[in-house]
């Protein structure tokens, strides 16, 4: 099974935020789960999608 990963830059582009925001979230223990392998940070697509689902809000009429 192929696991898709995004780099910090890829995720920042996806969400249209600064890569520094992701760095700060990691430092604060916020944001999606991530892997740090050999000094490189990557995010699994399934963890990103789970984080997005967690943050999803219903529109208030």
Q: State residue 15's pLDDT score.
A: 96
pLDDT digits (tens, 9 = 90+) for 25-53: 999 999 999 999 999 999 999 999 999 99
The helix/strand/coil state of 51 is: helix
For the record, the structure tokens of 58 come out as 């219903």
Tell me the pTM.
Answer: 0.84
d(C-alpha 3, C-alpha 33), whole Å: 14
Q: Is the pLDDT of residue 58 over 90?
A: no
Main-chain dihedrals φ then ψ at residue 42, nearest 5 degrees? -135, 155
């Amino acid at each position: 099974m192929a696991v898709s990963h995004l780099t910090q830059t890829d995720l920042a582009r996806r969400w249209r935020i600064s890569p520094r925001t992701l760095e700060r979230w990691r430092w604060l223990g916020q944001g999606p789960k991530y892997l740090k392998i050999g000094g490189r940070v990557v995010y699994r697509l399934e963890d990103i999608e789970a984080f997005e689902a967690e943050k999803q809000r219903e529109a208030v009429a």
